[in-house]
Structure 1
Amino acid sequence: MNKAIRIGTRDSELALWQANTVKKQLEDLGYKTELIAVKSTGDLILDKPLYELGITGIFTKTLDIAMLNGTVDIAVHSMKDVPTALPKGIIQTAVLERAATEDILVTKGKIDYTKPCTIATGSLRRKAQWLHRYPHHTVVDLRGNVNTRLQKLQDNNWDGAIFAKAGLKRINILPENYIELDWMIPAPAQGAMVIVTLQNDKYSTEAVRKLNNSNSQICTQIERDFLRKLEGGCTAPIGALAEIVENTIQFKGCLFSLDGENKLEVAKSVAIDNSLSAGNIAAEELLENGGKEMMAAIKNEMS
């Protein structure tokens, strides 16, 4: 068979960069490809915070439908946007080599953190961690693709806005004025790109599987298992990061109350050979130490 693999993607600059990266890698292996861009609900509705929209996989659902109805063969996503449970018939096939995992604060100049500041982010996780560290600051909602969000920072009287470093770096719009937030635990799978295929499409699945990076797959799986076990989806302030250091996995995870006042953390170090259940074990430990009550409180506040 010599069919063209149709690659589905969102039509933002970052999403297209990711899809074109996959396109090139597949073509380097000798496969024919075609790019098909679609708008997602998450891109179209910009006047509400993500957590108020009530849609699981707001940035992925449109592409899921396009795959299932045969419009595209595979889809490329920022992995942190993908729900931990994929639709029936769609499977995770490859995680590409991971980029930077850090969150950064983009600023307009020097900030005096001791004084009241206004910081922008559309993420509950970032908001909660920021308010935990700086309870005297104000956090405002920020939506749109990365270009739009950078422009909104310039257009508003805010002191800074929080971004994933990987996204800005990938499309060469990382500003000069930014600070790495090394104390902020990233979203599960932040900095990773994932490719999903149809379970019954052996040709595309076999092709895409060749792009998988095993280290990135292991680490993101642990982080997403942690997220799944906590039942966070995209609507709870949950952070997770797994890193391979020599032959061990160093994992840290966190759960915050929505206002950032309360914080639960867990840290694990396990051998790579025994890491399969590391995310679930860490989540169970956190749930037993106050996590169940905190998750219940979060769900009650969100309902």
Structure 2
Amino acid sequence: MTEKTIRIGTRDSELALWQAHTVQKKLRDLGYKTEIVAVKSQGDIILDKPLYELGITGIFTKTLDIAMINGQVDIAVHSMKDVPTALPVGIVQAAVLERANTLDILVHKGSLDFLESIGTIATGSLRRQAQWLHKYPNHAVVDLRGNVNTRMQKLKDNDWSGAVFAAAGLERINLKPETFINLDWMIPAPAQGAMVVVAMANDYFTVDAVSQLNDVETEICTYIERQFLRTLEGGCTAPIGALAKYNEQEDVIEFKGALLSLDGKQKLETTKVVDVSEWKKLGFHAAREILENGGEELMIELRKQLKPNK
């Protein structure tokens, strides 16, 4: 079989291209031929085949998945936190790269006085909004969308006190300003700071090539976090945070997860430390604990509030 060129599909934002180039370099270092194919994200693609059996969220991942199913690209590179927990039929997770910074950070305008009084914080994430309001109930939270560069520009252009970002995204494209603080009290999104590469299940050459980039520790920790998310969520984008860490000294996995109400007033949290051999069901058990302690009722309430307006 002639060795084929692996076509790497990506969105054309600066961060997406950085991620694609990172994967390209790693594959080239292993001796594979590659090319990058930037796919414009189209919100109006007509899905005439039942490719998506579950309520798949991000249109960005959807566009690349369709390009892959249609044979235009061989792999797609994503920020793992943006990828739905159920992949489309025929697509598999081929590798999770070693994780970067998991923290959320607050980018501010130089003064932090507002933390002691009233302020307005921008974020497009329900998880960040809920955790911020839980800690700072007197603050207002406004919606902030777009890619990282767009959001940084909007922060400059508005009179908000600050905006919350994933540290990893800003660090990857050297956009992290001097005026930031680490929000180490905020539980990150499941799989935050990790990049995932997906491929077609039946493309054995590509799956084999990409699997060499897999980082087992990151794969296990993100699996736990996404299992927690999937068990709680059942297809609704709720304010959920989760972080699993491997503690090498003690050979244990430390896990922290939370489910919050949109206004941050209710917060259901769980912390677990288990032997590394018990990782496979950790996310599931942690989520069940939350569901049995008020989480079922909170999820019903959240589904009502988050129903898309038709």
Partner of 1:135: 137
Deviation of 1:39 after TM superposition, in Å, equals 2.4
Secondary structure at the residue paired with 1:277?
helix
Partner of 1:258: 262
Identify if the C-alpha distance between structure 1 residues 232 and 144 changes in structure 2 by more than 3 Å, giving closer, same or farther.
farther
Partner of 1:282: 286
Q: Deviations over 1:123-179 (max 9, x none)?
A: 000000000100100000001111111111010010100000000000111100000
5+ residue gaps, structure 2: 44-54
Partner of 2:94: 93
Partner of 2:112: 111
Identify if the C-alpha distance between structure 1 residues 73 and 236 changes in structure 2 by more than 3 Å, giving closer, same or farther.
same
C-alpha contact 1:227 1:233 (8 A) present in aligned 2 = no
Identify if the C-alpha distance between structure 1 residues 266 and 216 changes in structure 2 by more than 3 Å, giving closer, same or farther.
same
Instruction: Please tell me the residue identity of whatever aligns with 1:152.
Output: K
Deviation of 1:235 after TM superposition, in Å, equals 1.4
Instruction: Please tell me the residue identity of whatever aligns with 2:259.
Output: L
Give the number of aligned pairs. Answer: 294
Q: Please, which moves more after superposition, 31-40 or 288-297?
A: 31-40
Instruction: Please tell me the residue identity of whatever aligns with 1:86.
Output: L
The alignment yields a C-alpha RMSD, in angstroms, of 1.5
C-alpha contact 1:8 1:37 (8 A) present in aligned 2 = yes
Deviation of 1:40 after TM superposition, in Å, equals 2.3
Secondary structure at the residue paired with 1:276?
helix
1: distance between equivalents of 2:236 and 2:99? Answer: 20
Secondary structure at the residue paired with 1:66?
helix
Partner of 1:122: 124
Instruction: Please tell me the residue identity of whatever aligns with 1:183.
Output: W
2: distance between equivalents of 1:234 and 1:291? Answer: 14
* 1:197 equivalent among 199, 207, 211: 199
* 1:174 equivalent among 173, 176, 180: 176
Partner of 2:51: none
Partner of 1:153: 155
Q: TM-score normalised to the size of structure 2? A: 0.92
Deviation of 1:255 after TM superposition, in Å, equals 0.3
1:73 equivalent in alignment to 2:77: no
Secondary structure at the residue paired with 2:127?
helix
Secondary structure at the residue paired with 2:116?
coil
Deviation of 1:38 after TM superposition, in Å, equals 1.3
Instruction: Please tell me the residue identity of whatever aligns with 2:156.
Output: Q
C-alpha contact 2:56 2:84 (8 A) present in aligned 1 = no
5+ residue gaps, structure 1: 43-53
4+ residue segments displaced more than 3 Å: none
Identify if the C-alpha distance between structure 1 residues 288 and 41 changes in structure 2 by more than 3 Å, giving closer, same or farther.
farther
C-alpha contact 1:8 1:72 (8 A) present in aligned 2 = yes
1: distance between equivalents of 2:34 and 2:235? Answer: 32
2: distance between equivalents of 1:67 and 1:234? Answer: 25
Identify if the C-alpha distance between structure 1 residues 132 and 101 changes in structure 2 by more than 3 Å, giving closer, same or farther.
same
1:297 equivalent in alignment to 2:301: yes
Instruction: Please tell me the residue identity of whatever aligns with 1:91.
Output: V
Partner of 2:223: 221
1:10 equivalent in alignment to 2:11: yes
Identify if the C-alpha distance between structure 1 residues 232 and 155 changes in structure 2 by more than 3 Å, giving closer, same or farther.
farther
Instruction: Please tell me the residue identity of whatever aligns with 2:95.
Output: A
C-alpha contact 2:56 2:86 (8 A) present in aligned 1 = no
